[in-house]
């Protein structure tokens, strides 16, 4: 009986974790100081990390460590070692902080996305997030490229390549959904529309090196 309660509690807490992860991903796309403040994304990140850490302490430490997690831990230790004799320690320490955040984010995503069904949901989160971003840019008059020499994404993300990477990640996951995910015709039509919408925005960003052909 206690074991069943424990599994039920774990499912609920992991479901909350998946929801917070989805909110973080969504705000990573749309909270770019156009209509939504980027501070919302920071709050979503802290909420996701806090909940993920709690779940990791309760359940995650007893689960199998993924190869990626083990590799990343070794990579961080090597990076920390090289920082000890670097003349630019202060600058590198800021980058090391980002590595730690990236490690925990990816670790918690692996923890909450445990099967193909969860992965399919994750793909839809990315698809909806990128669609919402481009729709927001269009309705605010920001879906333009080449104005004053700036590429799409340069102004509100600080780097057009960052924008292109975000869009390309969504396109790849949408392609996965097309091939391996949904079987519904209506969903496939929606995916085709979102892929074309994304590719249009990608072209405006001039991120041609990120266009991947399946």
Give pLDDT tens digits for 12-49. Answer: 889 999 999 999 999 999 988 888 888 999 999 999 99
The total number of residues shown for the chain amounts to 214
Lowest-confidence pick of 2-11, 117-126, 164-173: 2-11
**What global pTM score does this model have?**
0.85
Inter-residue contact 177 to 124 (CB < 8 Å): yes
Query: What's residue 113's pLDDT?
Result: 92
Three-state secondary structure call for residue 141: coil
Mean pLDDT of the chain: 83
147 bridge partner residues: 150
Question: Which own/partner contact pairs does 69-77 have at CB distance under 8 Å and 24+ positions apart?
Answer: 69/103, 69/106, 69/107, 69/110, 72/103, 72/106, 72/107, 73/103, 75/99, 76/100, 76/103
Query: What's residue 146's pLDDT?
Result: 56
Query: Is the model's pLDDT at 130 over the cut of 90?
Result: yes
Give 121's Cβ-side CA count (13 Å radius).
14
Inter-residue contact 195 to 167 (CB < 8 Å): no
Query: What's residue 60's pLDDT?
Result: 67
């Amino acid at each position: 009986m206690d074991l069943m309660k424990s599994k039920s509690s774990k499912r609920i807490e992991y479901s909350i974790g998946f929801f917070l992860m989805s909110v973080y991903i969504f705000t990573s796309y749309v909270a770019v100081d156009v209509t939504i403040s980027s501070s919302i994304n920071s709050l979503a990140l802290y909420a996701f990390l806090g909940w993920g850490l709690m779940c990791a302490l309760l359940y995650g430490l007893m689960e199998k460590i993924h190869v990626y997690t083990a590799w990343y831990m070794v990579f961080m230790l090597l990076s920390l070692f090289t920082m000890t004799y670097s003349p630019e320690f202060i600058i590198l320490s800021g980058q090391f902080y980002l590595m730690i955040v990236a490690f925990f984010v990816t670790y918690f995503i692996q923890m909450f996305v445990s099967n193909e069904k969860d992965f399919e949901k994750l793909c839809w989160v990315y698809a909806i997030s990128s669609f919402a971003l481009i729709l927001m840019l269009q309705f605010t008059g920001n879906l333009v490229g080449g104005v004053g020499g700036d590429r799409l994404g340069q102004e509100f993300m600080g780097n057009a390549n960052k924008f292109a990477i975000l869009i390309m990640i969504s396109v790849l996951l949408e392609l996965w959904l097309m091939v391996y995910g949904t079987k519904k015709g209506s969903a496939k039509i929606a995916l085709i529309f979102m892929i074309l919408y994304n590719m249009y925005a990608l072209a405006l960003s001039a991120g041609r090196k990120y266009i991947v052909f399946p």
